[in-house]
Chain A
């Protein structure tokens, strides 16, 4: 009999309590990382299976960060297989990041185009915004999921926000040009 079966027999409530209740967080992350809903579903399902198998070795008290780390790793390996994304050196090519960009958030266009702008960002930039701005993870939890030092979270997040705004600015200009 496997470890996981004996575990779930002795403490079936734990996995539900510690891990499964964070299913929306897991799905949301995968959905934003993968673009394609079917890929996201596959990754999340796989993540829960693996989390369940590894649960006996889970000693932490933060099931959410642990689960999200698994989800993220699976998403990345799938992205690498597809080679659709994960181009670490492309970070600065699409968008010239100018910290001085000031978006006027009152405009409807800004809010309408924001999700698209986030989707267009490279996955390494996108993920920190998904975790912090959408999922609401504190810096220390972001650090745990991304496996980076706490101090790096702050700087990476600041850069990601700038890139998002620069991307949004670009989309709004295009939108405006089309409208003319």
Chain B
């Protein structure tokens, strides 16, 4: 990674808007580039000064009263109905997520083997890396640290194996969303690049073995033992294939 391309990402790095992949790249760069490290320091100082010296105005209570008075039927009308809504609220949420899950199942089921929407989502998840602000939840090269970290956060157990000996060291994991599904994202490294491996329950809609390539990203998907797997990376297709082969051999999939 050259300094020029890193430098333009420094503000987003300081703002915590980079994904794990870029964050790790930047941190590696900072340790060897005093100029960029200094730029980061200056950005941090400016941010802190802005946070401390710029006032955030709170709404005056008079104005709030005026606003409440001006809104029709606000706020205390029909308390009985409100309580019905409050009671139903959690179920509405459940119904919505159930509907979302069925929708996903529908898409996957119909387009069996042609999982374009999931693939697009996974690529976004990998690249959006740039913008999510949701980076690394657990940074560890130890599979015995990463695996238990997921327990209790998701109701399935992604097989976590370290593939360092095969040239794909594990560097951590995080929770992510794939088409509204909670998914475990395992992050592996390949030289200077990274691989996101998304794992989530197949909900009776197992992914077919398939491979695709789009905008410079390679993806590989498969399903095993009730779990769907989708690997995304910018490494060459052959390398990603090697990674998946190795992972499946070690994870017993």
Q: How many residues of A contact B (CB 8 A)?
A: 50
CB-nearest residue of chain A relative to B42? A102
Contacting pair B63 A13 (CB below 8 A): no
B105 beta carbon closer than 8 Å to chain A:
no
User: Inside 8 A of B12's CB, which chain A residues have their CB?
Assistant: 139, 154
User: CB-CB contacts of B1-24 with A at 8 A, as 1s and 0s?
Assistant: 000000000011001010000000
Shortest beta-carbon distance, B95 to chain A, in Å?
Answer: 15
Inter-chain residue pair count (beta carbon < 8 A): 127
> A114: which of B11, B53, B76, B86 is its contact (CB, 8 Å)?
B53
Q: Does A161 interact with chain B (Cβ within 8 Å)?
A: yes
Contact A138 B133 (CB under 8 A): yes
**Contact B85–A44 (Cβ < 8 Å):** no
A165 CB contact (under 8 Å) in B46, B64, B66, B67? B46
Interface string of A22-52 (1 = CB under 8 A from B): 0110111001100000000100110011001
Interface size on B, residues (CB 8 A): 41
Contact of B67 with A10 in the complex, beta carbons under 8 Å: no
A2: chain B residues at CB < 8 Å are 72
A26 to B57, CA, bound (A): 9
Contacts of A16 in B (CB 8 A): 74-75
Please determine whether B81 and A45 come into contact, CB atoms closer than 8 angstroms.
Answer: no
State whether the Cβ of B45 lies closer than 8 Å to any Cβ in chain A: yes
Cβ B55 vs Cβ A115 within 8 A: yes
A111 touches B53 (CB 8 A): yes
A52 and B72 contacting across the interface, CB-CB below 8 Å: yes
14 new A-B pairs (CB below 8 Å) besides A27-B63, A138-B17?
A9-B73, A9-B78, A15-B75, A27-B59, A44-B59, A48-B71, A52-B74, A102-B42, A115-B53, A132-B15, A133-B54, A139-B131, A140-B131, A140-B133
